[in-house]
Amino acid sequence: MMQSGIAAPASLFRSTVAEFLKFYAFRIPQIAYVSIVAFLVLFVFQLFLAERLLAHLGPATVNEVIPYLFYASWKSILFHVFIIAFSAYCVAVDSQYGMIRIGCTQPVSRAQYLLGKSIAIELHVALFALVYVASIFIWVCICTEFRGLSFPGLLALSSLAVRTVVFCVGLSGCMIGVSILRKTLLDAFVSCCVLFVGFGLLLTLPPEFHLRPVLFLRYFLYPIAGILPKGWPIQFPMKDAPFWQFLLVSMVTPTVCLIPAFVRFHFRDISE
Amino acid sequence: MLEIESLVKRFGNTAVVDGISFSAGAGEVVGFVGPNGAGKSTTMKVICGLLKQNSGKVTIDGIAFSEDTQTYLSKLGALIESPAFYPGLNGRDHLAYLARMRGRYMEGLIGSTLARVGLDTDSNKPVKKYSTGMKQRLGIAMAILHQPKVLILDEPTNGLDPAAIVAMRDLLRQLAECGTAVLVSSHLLFEIERVCDRVVFIKSGRVIRDQKIRQDMPSVVRMLVRCSNPEAAQETLGKQDFILEIQPSEKGLVCTLSAQKVGHLGFILVHSGLEILELSPVRGGLEDAYVSDYGTGMREGLK
**Residue in A106, A119, A266 to test binding to B, most B beta-carbons within 10 Å:** A106
**CB-based contact B73 A108, cutoff 8 Å:** yes
Question: What whole-number distance in Å separates Cα of residue B65 and Cα of residue B58?
Answer: 7
Instruction: For chain A, give the percent of residues with pLDDT over 90.
Output: 74
Q: Which among A144, A167, A139 is positioned nearest to A226, based on CA atoms? A: A167
Instruction: Name the minimum distance, in Å, from the CA of B136 to any CA of chain A.
Output: 14
Count other C-beta atoms under 10 Å from residue A24's C-beta.
12
Are the CB atoms for B165 and B195 separated by under 8 Å? no
Share above pLDDT 70 across residues of chain A, in percent, rounded to a whole number: 97
| Whether residue A2 has pLDDT greater than 80 | no
Residue-wise DSSP of chain A: ----TTHHHHHHHHHHHHHHHHHHHHTHHHHHHHHHHHHHHHHHIIIIIIS-HHHHH-S--HHHHHHHHHHHHHTT-HHHHHHHHHHHHHHHHHHHHTHHHHHTTSSS-HHHHHHHHHHHHHHHHHHHHHHHHHHHHHHHHHHHTTTT--HHHHHHHHHHHHHHHHHHHHHHHHHHHHHHT-SSHHHHHHHHHHHHHHHHHHTTS-TT-TTGGG-GGGGTTHHHHTTPPTT-S---TTTTS-HHHHHHHHHHHHHHHHHHHHHHHHHS----
Is residue B160 domain-shared with residue B274, that is, in the same domain?
no
Out of A205-219, B11-25, B175-189, pick the least confident: A205-219
Residue after which a domain boundary falls, among B212, B246, B269:
B212
CB burial of residue A85 (10 Å; 0-12, 13-18, 19+): middle
Instruction: Looking at the structure, tell me whether residues B203 and B229 fall in a common domain.
Output: no
The full set of domain ranges for chain A reads 7-267
pLDDT at B301: 40
Same domain flag for B165 and B281 = no
CB A237 within 8 A of CB A218: yes
| CA diameter of chain B | 72
pTM score of the predicted model: 0.83
Instruction: Residue A98: list chain B partners with CB under 8 A.
Output: 81-82, 84
Residue B64 sits in the same domain as residue B90:
yes
Same domain (yes/no): B148, B176: yes
- Helical H segments across chain B, by residue range: 40-47, 69-74, 91-102, 107-116, 132-144, 162-177, 189-195, 230-238, 262-271, 285-302
Rounded to whole angstroms, the Cα distance separating B156 from B166 reads 12
Beta strand B276-281 pairing with B220-227: antiparallel
Asked if residue B158 belongs to a domain, the reply is yes
Q: How far apart are CA B81 and CA B76, in angstroms?
A: 16
Strands B2-11 and B55-60: antiparallel
pLDDT of A256 over the 80 cut: yes
Q: Phi and psi for B159 in degrees, rounded to 5? A: 80, 0
What pLDDT score does B291 carry? 63
3-state secondary structure of B282: coil
Q: Output the pLDDT for position A5.
A: 42
Q: Where are the alpha helices (DSSP H) in B60-209?
A: 69-74, 91-102, 107-116, 132-144, 162-177, 189-195
Contact status of B102 with chain A (Cβ, < 8 Å)? yes
* 3-class secondary-structure state, position B17: strand
**Do B18 and B86 belong to one domain?**
yes
Q: Could you tell me which residue, B281 or A182, shows the higher pLDDT?
A: A182
β-pair partners for B212? B198
Q: List chain B residues with CB under 8 Å of A104.
A: 48-50
State whether the Cα torsion B19-A2-B63-A95 is positive or negative. positive
Q: Are residues B122 and B150 in the same domain?
A: yes
- Here the CATH number for the domain that contains residue B7 is 3.40.50.300
Which pLDDT tens digit goes with each residue over B227-237? 888 888 888 88
The answer to whether residues B58 and B140 belong to one domain is yes
Asked, for residue B295, whether it belongs to a domain, the answer is no
**Residues B97 and B245 both lie in one domain:** no
> What phi and psi, each to the nearest 5 degrees, are found at residue B280?
-140, 155
Pair B19, B132 in one domain: yes
The count of C-alpha atoms lying within 13 angstroms of the C-alpha of A184, restricted to the half-sphere facing its C-beta, is 3
- Is residue A59 predicted with pLDDT exceeding 60? yes
- Give the per-residue pLDDT at B50: 94
Whether B150 and B15 share a structural domain: yes
CB atoms within 10 A of CB A84: 23
Higher pLDDT, A272 or B51: B51
The pLDDT, as a whole number, for residue B286 is 65
The pLDDT confidence band at residue B284, using thresholds 50, 70 and 90, is low
Beta bridge mates, B227: B276
Q: Whole-angstrom Cα distance, residue B269 to residue A13?
A: 74
Instruction: Give CA–CA dist A125/A119, Å, rounded.
Output: 10
B85 in contact with A, Cβ within 8 Å: yes
pLDDT tens per residue across span A145-199: 888 888 888 999 999 999 999 999 999 999 999 999 999 999 999 999 999 999 9
d(CA B233, CA B254): 11
Beta-carbon separation of B96 and A109 below 8 A = no
Q: Which of residues 123-142 of B touch A (CB under 8 A)?
A: 142
Q: How far apart are CA B194 and CA B184, in angstroms?
A: 12
Do B146 and B177 fall into the same domain?
Answer: yes
Residue B43 domain-assigned?
yes
B84 DSSP 8-state letter: -
Q: B233 lies in a domain?
A: yes
Q: Judge: A18–B52 Cβ closer than 8 Å, yes or no.
A: no
Residues from chain A that touch B78, judged by Cβ atoms under 8 A, are 101, 105
> What pLDDT sits at residue A163?
96
Least confident of A3-7, A109-113, A166-170, A249-253: A3-7
Phi first, then psi: give them for residue B187, nearest 5 degrees: -95, -5
pLDDT at res. B170: 86
Is B115 a domain residue?
A: yes
**Rounded (10°) CA dihedral B278, B279, B284, B288:** 10
Least confident of A84-93, B20-29, B236-245: B236-245
Span between the terminal Cα atoms of chain B, in Å: 41
A38 has pLDDT over 70? yes
Confidence (pLDDT) at B267: 86
Look at A173 and B117; give whichever has higher pLDDT. Answer: A173
Alpha-carbon torsion angle B147, B149, B154, B158, nearest 10: 40
- Provide the CA A251 distance to its chain's centre, in angstroms: 12
pLDDT of A8: 62
Cβ proximity of A217 and A171 under 8 Å = no
Domain count, chain B: 2
Q: Which domain holds residue B194?
A: 2-212
Q: Which pLDDT band holds residue B253 (cuts at 50, 70, 90)?
A: confident
Any domain includes B267: yes
Under an 8 A CB cutoff, do B49 and A15 touch?
no
The yes-or-no verdict on residue B303 having pLDDT over 50 is no
Using alpha carbons only, give the angle A90, A92, A96 rounded to the nearest 5 degrees: 120
